[in-house]
Every structure is written in structure tokens, then in C-alpha cells.
Structure 1
Amino acid sequence: METIGPETGHPVSAGLPTGGQRRRLALAGVRGPVAKGRDFTRQALRDWGWDGTRTAEDTLLLVSELLTNASLHADGCHELVLTAGEAGLRIEVCDGTTTLPRRDPAPRRGIPGGHGLHIVERLSDRWGARTHEHGKAVWAEIEATRLTSGRPAGAPPG
């Protein structure tokens, strides 16, 4: 597969580069961080050949949940980091607080709120959080086998 680079107009190869790739999107002070993060992730998945599957749709939902949680509970998103490699994809959302996320043990059905980390837990293969000197990063990982072999989005189960 070949893609034309927007900056140069020259062909660039699509797919995951040997050794992987990390992409960062600064979000501090940005309006509409969830939509921008989804667009950024959608483009990365397309570039890496991981688009058009149910797992790609799950990935976009994971990004939305992580960015929304940072916006609502951690004084906003600072950065979205996508790290792709042979093992899969790691999504990290960095914010400015060191308060670790806490999963609501019993969210109420039909009532907004308290469901985000349950969604993250169900859609990812692993997730967690780590603090650093400027705040924390909440991360989720998706294994490569799910990204490369998922059914097309909208395909019936089976």
C-alpha cells in the first residue's frame, strides 16, 4: 500500500514502521480535545493499517473514554500518546493531577457517569495509570492480534 505524504507530495509507505512508532498530540488548552484525539487516532490507525475493523472502532471509543475522563475528572487533557509496535497499541492520556482513577464498583444502569473505566476495562487487554512529576498518565493496551485480525466494522458476528 502506498500513501502520498501531505508535506512533500512524495509516496510514503503505509503500515507500521519496523521497530514501531510513537505519535503525540498536545491537548493542553485545546478546544474539543475528545474530537481532536479521535481524529488523530483514526489517522494513526489508518496509517498503520489497523483501520476498518471492530477493534479499530473499540480503539476510538477507548480514546474517547480516556480523554473524557481526563477532561471531567483531572482538570483537562495535556497530551495523547499512541505507541504502536509488534505487540500492539498503547494509548496514554496525560493530565495534570496525580490523583489516580478509581473505577466505580457499582455504576447504576441508565444513569450517566461511573461507566467510563468499566468500558476501558472491557475494550482493552490491559489498562492502568502511573504518576509522574507533572501529573499522571492513564493508559490502555490492545494486542496486535486484535488490531490485525478483527472483523470489519459493521460485520455480523460469526
Structure 2
Amino acid sequence: MVRGEETTSTRRSLRYELAEGPGLVAQCRDLTQRALAAWFGDAGARGREPVEDVLLLVSEVVTNARKHGTAPYELCLEGRGRALWVQVGDSSPRPPAPHGPHRAGRPSGHGLYLLQRLAAHWGSVSRDRGGKTVWFEVDVLR
């Protein structure tokens, strides 16, 4: 669950503190959808392919943080020109790693494959206070 509202807000930058709870993935998607609509107008409208890609990737990264690390503690969104840059912080120091080659028939294990296919850029960085941040960028106005 999101603790309060955005903790930092500038015209095209938002930071949310997250807390474990039911509906966290859906809340993160909703926050991202609102930012896309505010920053990119009609181009950020639901149903456009790049927007759906962003929302899918937010779901994957937040879910992966919960499943493979610890509860995500931060969601940062930043509009950069034509793109949206997303960061999800968690307290696990392990960087994302694929579980072998991608197999479409598996019920799970598609998150990193989707990041590689849908994001213009993505990666993971260690945090000074421990943990990591997984980030990605999607060109919303493509």
C-alpha cells in the first residue's frame, strides 16, 4: 500500500513511499497511469501500446521485488522528454537475474524478458543504505 501521497512532487517527477499490503501492485499501476496522463496528456491515455507496456513493466518490477527480494519501499516516476523513467527500490541486495532461458510456456519467470523486450533501457543499481533499485525507461511518445 502507498503510505500517504507523493513525498516529492515537481512538474515531472514523483516519489512515493510504499508499504506492504494488499493491492500494492494495482496501486503502483494507478499512480503510474495518473502520472502518464498528467505529463503526456492524450499520449498517456490508457489503451495506447507504450502506456500499456509501462503499466505491465511496473507490475512486473513491483511483483519481482515482492517475490524475489523484499517488499518494495519506493516508486519513483520521472518524465524525461518523450520517455517515462521508473525506479522501484527494495532492500534485497541481489540484482535481478534470469532463471535460465526464457520459455513462453512457463507460468512465471517472464519479468526480465519483458524488460529486455519492452523497455528502451533498464538496469539495477545498488543502494548505499543496502538493497537495490531496478529502473527502466519507456518511450511513451513513440
Tell me the TM-score range normalised by the shorter chain: 0.7 to 0.9
TM-score where L is the length of structure 2: 0.82
Q: Does 1:44 align with 2:38?
A: no
- The counterpart of 2:13, out of the listed 1, 6, 22, is 22
Distance 2:89 2:120 in 1: 19
Q: Is the 8 A contact 1:98 1:135 kept in 2?
A: yes
CA RMSD of aligned residues (A): 1.7
Q: What is the aligned-residue identity percentage?
A: 38
Distance 1:29 1:114 in 2: 22
Q: Is the 8 A contact 1:121 1:127 kept in 2?
A: yes
- Aligned residue number for residue 50 of structure 2: 55
Q: Segments of 4+ in structure 1 off by > 4 A? A: none
What does 1:37-116 align with in structure 2 at a 5 Å threshold?
Answer: 37-48=28-39, 49=41, 50-52=44-46, 53-86=48-81, 88-116=83-111
Distance 1:36 1:136 in 2: 21
Distance 2:78 2:101 in 1: 32
Cα deviation for residue 87 of structure 1 reads: 5.0
Q: Does 1:32 align with 2:28?
A: no
Q: Is the 8 A contact 1:33 1:77 kept in 2?
A: no
- Listed as ranges, the gaps of 5+ residues in structure 1 are 1-15, 150-158
- Listed as ranges, the gaps of 5+ residues in structure 2 are 1-9
Larger Rg: 1
Distance 1:24 1:59 in 2: 17
- Aligned residue number for residue 136 of structure 2: 140
**What is the identity, as a one-letter code, of the residue corresponding to 1:35?**
A
Q: Is the 8 A contact 2:83 2:141 kept in 1?
A: no
Q: Is the 8 A contact 1:25 1:37 kept in 2?
A: no
